[in-house]
């Protein structure tokens, strides 16, 4: 607001006839306003009032912020300074003894969305307001001044914490420090509340976590699996370096045909290194996709070298032969034949474009006959030599 406008408002007041002025002279508020402007007597008309200037004016003439004045010049000042939201916020904070010049400077600089955000949180009916203290105000002002985005979800988060009586310093710091992850934070708060783990200790773990989206997803899945969460488990999740792999594997176990996800399984997975997940996750996914993932399959994958199994699954899946040949995979789990020898054989058949249901069945039957090892040696020789053979000749010399 330019100084020229305030001078014009005072001039209009001086030119307006009031009965009270006729008998008693200028209104007290007008005199205070005149004294206020005298401090700018050497300033140019185009001087732009700062937030501090406006703050001092509101302190000098409180009626400007209160509104509803019977003096037109007061309402004119009010209308030219800011919108109603700013004055509502000022009045509430002043009443709570929280309005300082520094706070006002921040509030005065906020765009319309930021003012609406504060007005919604702190003004209106008492039942619609969140708890207000210096820590809450400081956090809200930091958030409102830092980003024009996410204000709706931030407001939801603050109201959620207010309704749970948990607008603590730890919770407020989490919101302020993780604004860009606010959607994950809001969901995490809900999941923690659902698991009866909404406390400062858990929130502090999340404040130190860089991959909140993965943690958010993981906790949601654990709640879905009805696994009991506690502070120590939350800590283990937040400090785990393989959180991305867990995020991939847990849904696979959750969607398996048998109930595989329990606290024992999850605790075991938390203890694994990244090599474990690199080796196992693709196999678990293929097994689950083809309805082959049960407890026996899971135990086999977790406790055995699965290089050959992985290759067999990939080859059969690529040729759309997996779902109709579950017996072969079960035989691998039961260790009924040499799975590496079997893999080498079907790899050659695939490379030679000879792998179909007939050749696969023949290869499987021969694998069960452990005395036929020389036939697999022959196929390996063909493979190593890049030797091509027709389907008819293959049947004659091998199958």
Tens digits of residue pLDDT in 221-257: 999 999 999 999 999 999 999 999 999 999 999 999 8
The total number of structural domains in the chain stands at 2
Q: Is residue 296 part of a domain?
A: no
From residue 141, give the alpha-carbon distance in Å to each of 15, 177, 367.
41, 13, 72
* 362 φ, ψ (degrees, to nearest 5): -65, -45
∠ CA 127-133-136, rounded to 5° = 90
Let me know if residue 349 belongs to a domain.
yes
Q: What is the C-alpha to C-alpha distance for residues 137 and 115, in angstroms, rounded to an integer?
A: 13
Domain end position, chosen among 81, 113, 134: 81
174 Cβ neighbours under 8 A, 6+ residues apart = 185, 203, 204, 206, 207
Please state the pTM of the whole predicted model: 0.85
Amino acid 371: pLDDT: 58
Q: Is residue 301 part of a domain?
A: no
- In-domain check, residue 118: no
Q: What is the 3-state secondary structure (H, E, C) of 102-122?
A: HHHHHHHHCCHHHHHHHHHHH
In a domain, 54, yes or no: yes
Q: Tell me the residue range of the domain where 353 lies.
A: 325-399
112 inside domain: no
Residue 393, token pair as written in the block: 């000749």
Using an 8 Å Cβ cutoff, are 261 and 292 in contact?
no
Residue 151 lies in a domain: no
Q: Work out the angle at residue 293's Cα, subtended by the Cα atoms of residues 287 and 295, and round it to the nearest 5 degrees.
A: 150
- Domain final residue, candidates 81, 112, 138: 81
Residue given tokens 């699954």 in the structure block = 313
Which residues lie closer than 8 Å to 352 by C-beta, 6 or more apart? 382, 388, 389, 394
- Residue ranges for the chain with pLDDT beneath 70: 19-26, 370-379, 381-399
Query: Last residue of some domain: 59, 81, 103?
Result: 81
290 occurs within a structural domain: no
pLDDT at 21: 65
Query: pLDDT value at position 257?
Result: 82
């Amino acid at each position: 607001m330019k100084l020229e406008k305030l001078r014009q408002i005072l001039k209009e007041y001086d030119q307006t006839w009031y009965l009270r002025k006729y008998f008693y002279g200028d209104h007290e508020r007008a005199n205070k306003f005149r004294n206020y402007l005298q401090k700018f007597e050497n300033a140019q008309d185009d001087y732009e009032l700062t937030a501090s200037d406006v703050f001092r004016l509101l302190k000098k003439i409180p009626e400007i912020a209160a509104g509803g004045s019977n003096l037109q010049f007061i309402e004119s000042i009010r209308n030219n300074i800011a919108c109603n939201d700013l004055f509502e916020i000022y009045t509430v904070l002043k009443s709570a003894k929280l309005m300082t010049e520094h706070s006002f400077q921040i509030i005065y600089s906020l765009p319309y969305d930021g003012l609406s955000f504060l007005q919604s949180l702190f003004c209106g009916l008492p039942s619609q307001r969140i708890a207000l203290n210096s820590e809450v105000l400081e956090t809200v002002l930091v958030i409102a001044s830092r980003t024009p985005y996410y204000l709706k979800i931030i407001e939801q988060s603050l109201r959620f914490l207010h309704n749970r009586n948990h607008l603590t310093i730890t919770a407020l710091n989490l919101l302020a420090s993780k604004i860009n992850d606010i959607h994950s934070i809001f969901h995490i708060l809900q999941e923690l509340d659902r698991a009866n783990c909404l406390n400062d200790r858990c929130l502090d773990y999340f404040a130190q976590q860089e991959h909140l989206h993965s943690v958010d997803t993981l906790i949601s899945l654990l709640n879905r699996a009805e696994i009991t969460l506690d502070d120590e488990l939350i800590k283990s999740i937040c400090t785990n370096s393989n959180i991305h792999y867990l995020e991939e594997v847990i849904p696979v176990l959750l969607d398996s045909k048998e109930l595989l996800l329990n606290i024992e399984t999850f605790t075991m997975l938390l203890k694994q290194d990244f090599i474990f997940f690199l080796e196992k996750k693709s196999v678990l996914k293929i097994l689950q996709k083809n309805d082959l993932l049960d407890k026996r399959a899971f135990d086999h994958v977790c406790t055995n070298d699965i290089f050959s199994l992985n290759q067999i699954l990939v080859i059969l899946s690529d040729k759309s032969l997996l779902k109709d040949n579950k017996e072969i995979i079960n035989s691998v789990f039961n260790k009924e034949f040499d799975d590496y020898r079997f893999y080498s054989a079907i790899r050659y058949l695939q490379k030679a474009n000879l792998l179909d249901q007939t050749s696969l069945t023949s290869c499987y039957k021969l694998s069960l006959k452990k005395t036929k090892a020389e036939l697999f040696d022959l196929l390996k020789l063909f493979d190593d030599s890049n030797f091509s053979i027709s389907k008819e000749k293959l049947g004659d010399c091998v199958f």
